[in-house]
Amino acid sequence: MKALVYHGPGEKSWEEVPDPVILKPTDAIVKIDTTTICGTDLHILKGDVPAVTPGRILGHEGVGTITEIGSAVTDLAVGDHVIISCVSACGKCDFCKRGVYSHCRADEGAPGIGWIFGHLIDGTQAEFVRVPFAETSLYRVPEGVADELAVLISDILPTGHEIGVRYGAVSPGDVVAVVGAGPVGLAAMATAGLYGPSRVIAIDTDANRVEQAKRFGATDGVVASDPDWKEQVFALTDGLGVDVAIEAVGIPATWDMSLDVVRPAGHIANVGVHGKPVEFHLEQKWIENITITTGLVNTNTSPMLIKLLAQGKLDVAGFLSHHFALSDIISAYDTFGRAAETKALKVILSA
Ligand SMILES: [Zn+2]
Ligand SMILES: [Zn+2]
């Protein structure tokens, strides 16, 4: 088969590799019909994720058709059309039993981390992929849901929903600020509406992105490069700050911005993947009753999000910015890698 193989920082190629085979009775082999590229793949290509070693097939998002199942797989069948979750769950360990699949202890890749595709084992940017723990890590695509929407369930929608909105405890009437209007920030805005906030404020340095965010559920926008951006945010609250700040960038500046706008007793939900330490002045903030959460997506809300998608209750078609043939994945990487210029959100690759 053909696959997108990582060959060390800055090096990748679409090349011939051996077909994946069933290694464990709980495995399935899935033929990829649709996949996409994540910001995390770009981090890997920069060399930021040393656990990814040369020779690894990248990708952790995809929709496909089961072509083979292991002997222990009884609830799925060859021919089933499925969403591949970016997090694999054995379903049996302590963390899986609590729905914290992100820290699955199963001995596949490395025990203690549920994100293994395109990281610790070969991923989904390929014609076929081996899926461990198939029964607890694959979800059937409901009738009538297009692949290009279903693939948003692999990672981006549960990430914005679980780590941004749910960990942020967004509640009816809340004013929510989402710092960063990239794909994951937009996924948080698109799912915040499920909990009845009174306002969702998109904050970004790019005025165009702030404007676009209104298509994803933002009610207001603030351009972070405006000198009075903070006053603008406070003016959209009762003057005391936002109830929930969702950090969806992952740099010290956006962490500071989240702290700047959150009110006492508010929540900061960090979704951004940070590469550098941030400051937190506990000597000032201890008195403010703030809740701070962090996390890697669990994908435990994927079944619920799939139901909403099937009912047309999640208006997320705006995420689909570009379409490519799977064999043209190198061009897709180029377009996605220049997102500021190309306005790429999700580039969809179809077999
Ligand atoms: Zn991802
Ligand atoms: Zn587990």
Signed CA dihedral, 225, 230, 232, 236: sign only: positive
Instruction: Pick the ligand that lies closest to the CA of residue 37.
Output: 1
Centroid of ligand 1 to alpha carbon of 93 (angstroms) = 24
pLDDT for 275: 83
Centroid of ligand 2 to alpha carbon of 291 (angstroms) = 27
**Chain Cα centroid distance, residue 258:** 20
Q: How confident is the model at residue 80 (pLDDT cuts 50, 70, 90)?
A: very high
pLDDT for 333: 98
Q: What is the pLDDT of residues 8-48, one digit of tens each?
A: 999 999 999 999 999 999 999 999 999 999 999 998 999 98
Centroid of ligand 2 to alpha carbon of 1 (angstroms) = 30
Is the pLDDT assigned to residue 112 strictly greater than 90?
Answer: no
Centroid of ligand 1 to alpha carbon of 187 (angstroms) = 12
Q: How far apart are CA 48 and CA 292, in angstroms?
A: 25
Centroid of ligand 2 to alpha carbon of 28 (angstroms) = 17
Mean of pLDDT over the chain: 96
Q: What is the pLDDT of residues 187-196, one digit of tens each?
A: 999 999 999 9
Q: What is the pLDDT of residues 300-329, one digit of tens each?
A: 999 999 999 999 999 899 999 999 999 999
144 to 150, 196, 212: CA distances (angstroms): 10, 27, 27
Centroid of ligand 2 to alpha carbon of 104 (angstroms) = 4
Which regions of the chain does DSSP assign to beta strands (E)? 2-6, 12-16, 28-36, 62-69, 81-84, 128-131, 138-140, 175-179, 199-204, 220-223, 242-247, 262-270, 291-293, 320-325, 346-350
Between β-strands 28-36 and 62-69, what pairing exists: parallel, antiparallel or unpaired? antiparallel
pLDDT for 48: 85
Centroid of ligand 2 to alpha carbon of 98 (angstroms) = 9
Output b/e per residue, 20-48; b: 16+ Cβ within 10 A. Answer: bebeeebbbbbbbbbbbbbbbbeebbeee
Instruction: Pick the ligand that lies closest to the CA of residue 40.
Output: 1
Q: How far apart are CA 217 and CA 202, in angstroms?
A: 9
The most confident of the ranges 238-247, 313-322, 340-349 is 238-247
pLDDT for 315: 87
Instruction: Pick the ligand that lies closest to the CA of residue 97.
Output: 2
Centroid of ligand 1 to alpha carbon of 282 (angstroms) = 32
Instruction: Pick the ligand that lies closest to the CA of residue 95.
Output: 2
pTM score? 0.95
Centroid of ligand 2 to alpha carbon of 219 (angstroms) = 39
Instruction: Pick the ligand that lies closest to the CA of residue 104.
Output: 2
Q: 3-state class of 157 per DSSP? A: helix
Instruction: Pick the ligand that lies closest to the CA of residue 271.
Output: 1
Q: What's the average model confidence in pLDDT over 155-167?
A: 98
Q: How far apart are CA 119 and CA 125, in angstroms?
A: 12
Structural tokens at position 50: 């040393």
Q: How confident is the model at residue 135 (pLDDT cuts 50, 70, 90)?
A: very high
Is the pLDDT assigned to residue 111 strictly greater than 90?
Answer: no
What residues have a C-beta under 5 A from ligand 1, the ion?
38, 40, 155
